Amino acid sequence: MTTTLSRPRTGRMIAGVCAGIADRYGWKASTVRLLFVLSCLLPGPQFVIYLILWLTMPERP
């Protein structure tokens, strides 16, 4: 578990946003990915939020 929200260089699928969120909160990356895919079935700005997080979350050194 990390103390800051950042995208990892390993273990990511597309941009590492879900893996970064999972690392930050101590969850499994597959759980966060599944929750994201399921949330896409609901109306809302999920893809926009993902893109914003992709652009604003720093990549780990």
Q: What is the pLDDT of residues 48-58, one digit of tens each?
A: 999 999 999 99
| pLDDT at position 52 | 95
Please, what is the average pLDDT of the chain? 91
pTM for the model: 0.85
Round the CA-based radius of gyration of the chain to a whole number and report it: 11
More confident position, 2 or 31: 31
What band does 4 get if pLDDT is binned at 50, 70 and 90?
confident
Nearest by Cα to 54 from 24, 12, 23, 25 = 12
| pLDDT at position 40 | 92
